[in-house]
Structure 1
Amino acid sequence: MNKQWFIVYCKSREEERAFQNLHNQGIESFFPKIKKEKISRGKKIICEESLFPNYLFIHIGQEDINFNRIRSTRGINDFIRFGGKISTVPDTLMQQLKKICYVLNDLEVDKQSLFKNGDKIEIIKGAFKGATAIFSCDDGLARSMLLLNILNQDKSISFCNKEIKKI
């Protein structure tokens, strides 16, 4: 059974619906998502977003291909084609894509570690492990600026959010 990866184009914001409907039909599919920090109503939240909006990857064998059944699945428009030929994606590329999505999602920030100015912070990884500091401000989406007392002087140092936790 020689299975291949194909790309389908979904209706706007219906990737999740198409993914669920394909799953219900027993068709293996991959919907790459990443977790991102966003500011909503003045608060930082973590949400999942599609890595490739409006696209899904499906894994089917040549004997299982029923293009009409897949195209008529709720949420799906059609297969991606180049020159009239339905395009495929190499297995090695899909393995790399899955690995990248795993790594990106592993770098998420814990929901409980959203800090406020003045919060006491403990450093849990790196050269300053075990030291305490005071949260100063965000330094991008994945880093924070901390005030660390080194030799009786406050130094502002940037730390990865995965290396710190609130006390």
Structure 2
Amino acid sequence: MIAKMSERTEKRIGGKDLDIFPACLFTRGSLVKTDERRWRVLYTKSRQEKAVARQLATMDVPFYLPLLSRVSISRGRKTTSRVPLFSNYLFMFGDEEERVSALATNRLSRVIEVEDGRQIWSDLQQLASAIHRGAPLTKEERLCPGQRVRVRSGQLRGLEGTVVERQGQRRLVVAVNFLQQGASMLLDDCQIEAI
């Protein structure tokens, strides 16, 4: 059965790292909450995020796994890999049966229920937008509340977040408040406005 699932996964996603399923997960008005489905945070066992994502895709369960490109040099060769922004975390939009199926993969430590589906959908949509735009991101942990702003121009136009000062540089922090984590990027000649 596992071999069949692996073959189906490879056929479906072509062996590439799948970070979002379906592709329209963050379009306006989609998948905030339904009667059966709700947002859940899956806390995976170590280094199992991509494997869980592949299995969820084969089961047609909507999810989001924020992945960033990382460049490393080993033995003089430069390689690029896609790594999870939040180690061990994956966001699933599923019903109770799909939650049980995810647990049955034996790759999860626990499932965390999300009470405010609109907030986490909004936070994840902002983060997905920043990653899609190719902004260089830095992981931020244990975020403190601050003034919320919206970027009015430049590459990050339309994103909302908090401006912080790190090592003499202004950075825009896009947070996933549920996890108290997020990612930040340099503010580069961008006009911002308070929300």
Check if 1:69 corresponds to 2:96: no
**Structure 1: which 5+ runs fail to align?**
81-85, 108-167
Residue 53 of structure 2 aligns with which residue?
A: 19
Q: CA RMSD in A?
A: 2.1
Partner of residue 9 from structure 1, selected from 43, 64, 78: 43
Partner of residue 52 from structure 1, selected from 61, 86, 111: 86
Deviation of 1:28 after TM superposition, in Å, equals: 0.8
- Give the TM-score taking structure 2 as reference length: 0.45
Of structures 1 and 2, the one scoring higher in RCO (CA 8 A, sep 6+) is 1
- Give the TM-score taking structure 1 as reference length: 0.51
CA distance in 2, matches of 1:39, 1:58: 33
Q: Is the 8 A contact 1:38 1:44 kept in 2?
A: yes
Q: Is the 8 A contact 1:17 1:74 kept in 2?
A: no
CA distance in 2, matches of 1:70, 1:95: 23
Partner of residue 67 from structure 2, selected from 1, 13, 33: 33
- Greater strand share, structure number: 1
Q: Is the 8 A contact 1:4 1:91 kept in 2?
A: no
Q: Is the 8 A contact 1:22 1:73 kept in 2?
A: no
1:50-86 deviations in whole A, cap 9, x for unaligned? 11111111012xxx32333322224222213xxxxx2
Partner amino acid, structure 1, of 2:114:
S
**Structure 2: which 5+ runs fail to align?**
1-32, 137-195
| Change over 3 Å in CA distance of 1:74–1:20 after alignment to 2 | farther
Q: Which has the greater radius of gyration? A: 1
Q: What is the identity percentage for the equivalent residue pairs of Structure 1 and Structure 2?
A: 26
Deviation of 1:24 after TM superposition, in Å, equals: 1.4
> How many pairs are equivalent?
98
Runs of 4+ in 1 over 4 A off after TM superposition: none
CA distance in 2, matches of 1:68, 1:43: 42
